[in-house]
């Protein structure tokens, strides 16, 4: 299933490249995931916490490689293109996870704090939504935001609305945090029919 996902996706301002041990320098990625300025703010509402060791980062990249090859998740490193502030730098990472048994693709993203507020989340979402429907022929795209993460909710609402999708509601205490707590998730969806209309 190696050819299921495109290796590179380009938008007007971004280049998404397969997240793989050969596409990112291990120690650079570790420095970002462990101690980038604002990393605590970045990971406050994510499914991961700042990395403590290089080995943790290495395993993260190996897992991304295995999941890609199994057709389970397409993870990409996000970099601004030429002409953007920080062009070529790692801005963060994004994913499209097909749940083949339910015919649903789930979006995920995290961005380094210095890249917040540029509209990158919506721009990469447009590209991944197109991939989910045009390339993978999934019936639904879903995305969630942790309750209390208003910045993410605003970004999600913009692109979900742009594609004719909708807010599905709040699922209470459904997601386990790495620290052992649970969080509630706001869920949004876009159907293929909504996307095409």
- Judge whether 77 and 16 are in contact, CB under 8 Å: yes
Q: In terms of Cα–Cα distance, which of 11, 173, 41 is closest to 114?
A: 41
| Intervals of the chain under pLDDT 70 | 1-2
Q: How much helix, strand and coil, in percent to the nearest 5, is found in the chain?
A: 35, 30, 35
pLDDT value of residue 1: 40
List of domains in the chain: 2-196 (3.40.630.30)
- DSSP letter, residue 139: S
Count Cβ atoms below 10 Å from residue 13 Cβ, excluding itself: 16
pTM for this structure? 0.94
Give per-residue pLDDT as tens, 52-90: 999 999 999 999 999 999 999 999 999 999 999 999 999
Residue 174: predicted pLDDT: 83
Nearest to 128 by CA among 150, 108, 149: 108
Distance CA 197, CA 194 (A): 5
Q: At 154, which helix (H) or strand (E)?
A: helix 150-162
Burial class (CB in 10 A: 0-12, 13-18, 19+), 51: buried
Predicted confidence at residue 93, as pLDDT, reads 98
pLDDT on residue 71: 96
**Encoded tokens for 50:** 């700042």
User: Read out DSSP for 83-121?
Assistant: TSTTTTS--EEEEEEEETTTTEEEEEEEE-GGGTTSSHH
Q: How far is CA 171 from CA 147, 152, 157, 175, 183, in A?
A: 9, 16, 17, 9, 9
């Amino acid at each position: 299933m190696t050819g299921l996902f495109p290796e590179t996706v380009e938008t007007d301002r971004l280049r998404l490249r397969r997240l793989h041990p050969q596409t990112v320098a291990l120690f650079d990625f570790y420095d970002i995931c462990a101690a980038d300025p604002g990393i605590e703010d970045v990971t406050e509402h994510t499914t991961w916490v700042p990395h403590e060791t290089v080995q943790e980062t290495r395993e993260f990249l190996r897992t991304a490689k295995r999941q890609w090859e199994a057709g389970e998740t397409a993870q990409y490193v996000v970099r601004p293109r030429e002409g953007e502030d920080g062009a070529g730098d790692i801005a963060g990472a994004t994913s499209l996870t097909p749940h083949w048994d339910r015919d649903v693709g789930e979006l995920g993203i995290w961005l380094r704090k210095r890249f917040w507020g540029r509209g990158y989340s919506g721009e990469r979402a447009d590209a991944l939504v197109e991939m989910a429907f045009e390339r993978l022929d999934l019936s639904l795209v879903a995305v969630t935001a942790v309750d209390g993460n208003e910045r993410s909710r605003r970004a999600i609402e913009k692109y979900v609305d742009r594609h004719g999708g909708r807010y599905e509601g709040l699922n209470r205490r459904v997601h386990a945090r790495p620290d052992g707590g649970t969080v509630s998730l706001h869920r949004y969806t876009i159907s293929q029919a909504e996307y095409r209309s």
